[in-house]
Amino acid sequence: MFTPAVVDVEPPDEHFDSADAQSARLRDAIDDVRADIESLRATTAQHSPADAAIFDAHLVMLDDPDLVAAALERIESGVPASRAWAEAVAAVEAEWRAVDDPYLRERAVDVHAVGQQVLRKLAGIPDATIDGTGILVVDDLLPAQAAVLDAEKVAGVILAGGSPTSHAAILARARGIPAVVAAGSDILAIEPGVTVALDGSTGEIIVDPDSQTLERLRGEASRAAERGELARASAHESASTADGTRILVAANLGSVEDARAAAESGADGSGLVRTEFLYLDRAQPPSVDEQIDTYLAMADALGGQRITLRTLDVGGDKPLPFVPQPAEENPFLGLRGLRLALAEKTLFDDQLRAIVTVAHQTPISIMFPMVTTVDELLTAREHLDAAITSVGRGEPAGLEVGIMIEVPAAALKTAAFARYVDFFSIGTNDLTQYTLAAERGNTSVAALADPLDPAVVTLINRVCRGAGPDRLVAVCGELAADETATDLLVALGVRELSVAPRAVPPVKQAVRGIEATTNPRLVERCLEADAAHSVRAALIK
């Protein structure tokens, strides 16, 4: 293993000559970085077109008019370009880090990465490179660094920090390099030169392994590579179990770039569009027309397949500047999701009008988040009816309405909700944290928040039973991408799995490996298990 020093660049002390000169320096640096990112995108697209969309997002961030304007304003007040840029980036980064959704929170890492690239140009410091052979062990990597790793030299990557959605890890894997993230700071204490083995699919790390263990891991790596090739080759084909039941494998989206990546990956439309990406990091809400244009662009990128638009899902943990909210002691149990939407009627009604307008042009499902009571749902449907009347073209023929199941109370009342919806989508991330009283972002209790805990599995089963035969049940949380759980989810009655774009091919392949849609013995073993590890053991057998 090797551990190169990967450090952030701090803005240097600079002489301020004039605002015009400093502004020109910043614009030149941004232009240079844009060219670098476009080159990285082209290189990545050669072996992984879907993952190249990461750099599309970086280009959008680099040209964010609000970010650039904030830096230029600081320059006008006498702050040198490097410090002005660093301060503007830090402010945007802090806003994204405050977001609860782990997918959207990853935007903070992207903003930081782009910020560092520009800062290096301004400071005249060459781009950081990774030199060495073996297993790379670092605290974290910039996506630009991961995208150019040499697979002939780097056998694997271990990040002390990061998350499962880390773009650095995704880009490393796209180059055929296994990666483990969030390994903890202790991994950095291992001396360079020590033999380390890792399993990128399970996260297993073995220090100084014996020859037998190495042989086992090599065999598993070879088989995983074969499965990956097969999955990618059939990514654009539908996924059905051996006994003929089709399972939709859709994509979770947070941008138009994600939609393009999903199309490249063979996604069956989108099972979750996080529409809050349009509302975050801005002083005013998006106009109805802006929302319409964005939703249509996402649908177009997916070839007109159905997309599921989740209405605005924010709360006290990720407040919007144009929606004043009092501080809450526990925002996760406060005014969030549909609760906030019903309190901010103008904001909600504008979004519903945009969605209804789009639904007249392309298949749309609308999904309400954080629903707890039937009365909340009925009130939301009244607003939807009013939006349909306001648009003035009647009810769109293909419009479907559903709710997210995130609150245990909603899971237990699925049958009551079923009369008023077309589908259910289980958000296993929040359902897990609410069921097990373990906050997702709290590392002290993260081990408790296992979506395969028997209590969570029981609630998923309750939803599938309560939905009945005529209501689709989907899963859009991280559990949907866990290939070891695919058999169980299908056996419980889930008929759509919505995952990150890059996970579409392997999840489709996992579906094809299921022999029987119904598996009462497996369901019984998992429901009667006493712990998450017992459920996992039953799934491996």
Q: Residue 476's closest CA among 280, 226, 343, 308?
A: 308
Q: Is 97 annotated as a binding residue?
A: no
Angle subtended at Cα 372 by Cα 369 and Cα 375, rounded to the nearest 5 degrees: 105
What is the CATH code of the structural domain delimited by 134-209? 3.50.30.10
108 or 455: which leads in pLDDT: 455
Q: Is 246 annotated as a binding residue?
A: no
Percent pLDDT > 70 in the chain is: 94
Angle subtended at Cα 71 by Cα 69 and Cα 75, rounded to the nearest 5 degrees: 110
| Catalytic position from the list 58, 112, 476, 526 | 476
Distance separating alpha carbons of residues 15 and 11, to the nearest angstrom: 12
């202790």: which residue's tokens? 186
For residue 274, the cross-strand partners are 310
Pick the CATH number of 227-539 from 3.30.70.2390, 3.10.20.30, 3.20.20.10, 3.20.20.60: 3.20.20.60
The token pair that represents 168 in the structure block:
């650095």
Q: Is 430 annotated as a binding residue?
A: yes
Pick the most confident of 178-192, 279-293, 493-507: 493-507
- Per domain, the residue ranges of the chain are 19-123, 134-209, 227-539
The string of pLDDT tens digits covering residues 227-277 is 778 888 889 999 999 999 999 999 999 889 889 989 999 999 999 999 988
Distance separating alpha carbons of residues 388 and 48, to the nearest angstrom: 41
Catalytic: 167? yes
Pick the most confident of 114-123, 182-191, 227-236: 114-123
């073993």: which residue's tokens? 525
Angle subtended at Cα 47 by Cα 46 and Cα 50, rounded to the nearest 5 degrees: 95
Query: What pLDDT does 388 receive?
Result: 98
Task: Share the mean pLDDT of the chain.
Answer: 89
Catalytic: 464? no
| Catalytic position from the list 112, 167, 383, 526 | 167
Asked if pLDDT for residue 74 goes beyond 60, the answer is yes
Cα 30 to the center of its chain, rounded Å: 27
Query: What pLDDT does 250 receive?
Result: 98
The string of pLDDT tens digits covering residues 12-42 is 888 889 999 999 999 999 999 999 999 888 8
Q: Residue 459's closest CA among 504, 424, 499?
A: 424
Cα 56 to the center of its chain, rounded Å: 15
Spatial contact of 385 and 378, defined as CB atoms under 8 Å apart: no
Fold identical between 134-209 and 227-539? no
Q: Is 282 annotated as a binding residue?
A: no
55 or 274: which leads in pLDDT: 274
Percent pLDDT > 90 in the chain is: 55
Q: What 8-state DSSP symbol labels residue 240?
A: B
Name which of 6-10, 146-150, 354-358 the model is least confident about. Answer: 6-10
What is the CATH code of the structural domain delimited by 19-123? 1.10.274.10
Q: pLDDT-based confidence at 159, cuts 50/70/90?
A: confident
The string of pLDDT tens digits covering residues 445-493 is 767 888 999 999 999 999 999 999 999 999 998 899 999 999 999 999 9
Q: pLDDT-based confidence at 318, cuts 50/70/90?
A: low
